[in-house]
Amino acid sequence: MRTIAITERKLVVVEGNDDKRFFEALLKHLKLTNVQCIALGGRDEMRKTETWRALIATPGFSGLEAIAIIRDADESPQSAFQSLRDILGNVGLPQPAAPFQVQHSDPKVCILIMPDAHSQGELEDLCLRALTGKPVLECVEQFFQCVQQHGDSLPPKIAKAKLHAYLSSRKEPGRRIGEAAEAGDIPLDSQAFQQVIQVLKSVFA
């Protein structure tokens, strides 16, 4: 089995492999080199203290200079931030005071909540915002109106559904967001990503 080792001094920690691929594409776009991205194996794993203890025990962790932790807000951005902050405290890591704020400690730590510090949702919501203004989104909106008109209920994660409807219309349909970001289907220079970009640049400067 191929195991995950810490090989760089700057680390982005995300929930799943798709997030990892997305942020790797974003880091490459930003030309932020020597930053490693690690997926903790999913949403549930990121919420377990033991997973963080295991991460801290991983060879190379003690040499880290900066860590950016990215998780979805889901139902509550405040709870998402607070629970992650509590875990960091439990395992002895520095705790940033607020989301998107860099704690200038050793190592530097910041927590980025997706799509932002005030909204419910996830990374897909942010990606959908990045597509604002694209004419094809009108087709996506009409598609879901049509679904509703035919008596079907809409998916609870509507942003994710809309994003995937949009991605299914691309040259190579069926890409997940990580692949889509790599392929340029999601515009990484969009204003929607500016807050995330500013924090990543700040923590990894």
Partner 1 sequence: MYHCFTIRRFRCFEELTLGDLARVNLIAGKNNVGKTALLEAIFLHCGGQNSELAIRVNTFRGMENVSVAQFPWGEPPWVSLFYRFDTLRDIEIEGQDHLGKARTLRIRSEPEPVVVMAPELKAPKSFYEATSAHRSILFESQQDGEKTTQRMSIDLTGVRIEGFSTPPFPAFFYGARTRLPCREQADLFSALEVQKKEQFVVRALQILEPRLERLLVASSGGQVMLHADVGTDTLVPLPLMGEGMVRIADFAVCLGNASDGVVLIDEFENGIHHSVLKKVWSAVAQAAREFNTQVFATTHSWECIVAAHEAFSESDEYDFRLHRLERSDGRICVITYDQKTLQAAIETGLEVR
Which stretches of the chain bind partner 1, using CB under 8 A?
1-6, 40-41, 45, 48, 50-51, 53-55, 57-59, 62-63
Query: Is the Cβ of residue 63 or residue 173 nearer to partner 1 in the bound state?
Result: 63
Q: How far is the CB of 7 from partner 1 (least distance, A)?
A: 10
Query: Is the Cβ of residue 40 or residue 192 nearer to partner 1 in the bound state?
Result: 40
Q: How far is the CB of 15 from partner 1 (least distance, A)?
A: 11
Closest CA to 71 of 6, 16, 128: 16
Q: How far is the CB of 85 from partner 1 (least distance, A)?
A: 19
Q: How far is the CB of 106 from partner 1 (least distance, A)?
A: 12
Query: Is the Cβ of residue 54 or residue 183 nearer to partner 1 in the bound state?
Result: 54
Cα atoms found within 13 Å of the Cα of residue 78, Cβ hemisphere only: 0
From residue 28, alpha-carbon distances to 11, 24, 191 in Å are 14, 6, 17
Cα of first residue to Cα of last residue in the chain, in angstroms, is 34
Look at strands 35-39 and 108-114 and give their pairing. Answer: unpaired
Query: Is the Cβ of residue 61 or residue 143 nearer to partner 1 in the bound state?
Result: 61
Close Cβ partners of 21 (under 8 Å, ≥ 6 residues apart): 176, 177, 178, 179, 181, 182
